Amino acid sequence: MERLYFLPQWFIMYGLGLELVFAIITFLVALYAYKVYKLTSQKEHKLFSLGFLLVSFSYICWFILNLFALIELNDNLLTLEIGNAVKLINLGAYLHILFSLLGLIFLVYTSLKVKRAGIFVLISSLTIFSILLTDRKALMFYFLSSILVLYLVAHYFLEYRKKKNIRLIVMSSAFFFLFLGTFELIFTSRYSADYVVGHIFILISYLIILLNLASVFKNGQKKK
pLDDT tens-digit profile of 166-211? 999 999 999 999 999 999 888 765 656 677 888 899 999 999 999 9
pLDDT tens-digit profile of 142-164? 999 999 999 999 999 999 999 99
- Of the pLDDT bands very low, low, confident and very high (cuts 50, 70, 90), residue 71 is low
Domains of the chain: 3-223 (1.20.1070)
Percent of the chain that is helix, strand, coil (3-state, to 5):
85, 5, 10
- Looking only at the bridges linking them, the beta strands covering 3-8 and 73-74 are unpaired
DSSP state, 76?
A: T
Residue 4: phi, psi to the nearest 5? -80, -35
More confident residue, 22 or 84: 22
More confident residue, 41 or 13: 41
Judged against a pLDDT cut of 90, whether residue 31 lies above it is answered with yes
Long-range contacts of 84-90 (CB under 8 A, 24+ apart): 84/1, 89/65
pLDDT, residue 179, reads 96
Please state the pTM of the whole predicted model.
0.86
